[in-house]
């Protein structure tokens, strides 16, 4: 049988009704909870942790590929710029608007602005960078300039002189 419990957490706005069912692991969770709060205390409330997308950077024969997971970030909220050999990706993921009368039982998603900068290796062609946003994945292609692509050099052997 379910029961309604009202809990108020530190920093909470209003007590929130929590629907709970009997839980056989409750005694264990009650023992662990104080330690979780101590371990997370230096980081504060996770609802206020800023959003930082994960990047992968790899080199191919054609150039350099930067891939970032940016779910929930609108194209209008992304900016990519190049200054010299510095590639900068900035953006923000907006927090959902809280409606009056709504009750959150978990808030684990992060929101906010981010900026990531990368130094492009020598030979990158910043004039021909291409970016694509598809299904929450940002892909930035930086081609290698034609002068820096690998070129095979022929080796000429010296002919031996006749004695």
CATH number at residue 120: 2.60.40.790
Q: Is residue 113 part of a domain?
A: yes
Residues of the chain with pLDDT under 70: 1-49, 148-150, 161-163
Domain residues for 99? 55-147
Cα 8 to Cα 17: distance, rounded to the nearest angstrom = 9
Domain assignment of residue 123, yes or no: yes
Give the per-residue pLDDT at 9.
Answer: 46
Is residue 44 situated within a structural domain? no
The answer as to whether 17 is a domain residue is no
pTM: 0.61
- pLDDT tens digits, one per residue of 123-160: 888 889 999 999 999 999 999 987 766 678 888 888 77
Which pLDDT score is estimated for 152? 80
For the chain, how many structural domains are there in total? Answer: 1
In sequence order, which residues have a C-beta less than 8 Å from that of residue 25 and are 6 or more positions away? none
Residues 74, 79, 80, 82, Cα dihedral to 10°: 180
């Amino acid at each position: 049988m379910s029961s309604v419990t009202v809990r108020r957490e530190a920093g909470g706005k209003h007590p929130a009704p929590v629907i709970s069912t009997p839980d056989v692991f409750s005694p264990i969770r009650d023992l662990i909870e104080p330690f979780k709060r101590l371990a997370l205390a230096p980081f504060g409330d996770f609802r206020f942790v800023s959003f930082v997308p994960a990047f992968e950077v790899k080199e191919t024969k054609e150039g350099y590929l930067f891939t970032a997971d940016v779910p929930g970030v609108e194209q209008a909220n992304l900016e990519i710029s190049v200054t010299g050999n510095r590639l900068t990706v900035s953006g923000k993921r907006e927090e959902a608007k809280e409606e009056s009368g709504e009750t959150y039982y978990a808030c684990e998603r992060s929101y906010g602005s981010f900026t990531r900068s990368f130094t492009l290796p020598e030979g990158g062609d910043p004039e021909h960078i291409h970016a694509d946003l598809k299904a929450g994945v940002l892909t930035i292609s930086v081609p290698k300039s034609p002068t820096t692509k690998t070129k095979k050099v022929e080796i000429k052997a010296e002919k031996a002189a006749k004695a």
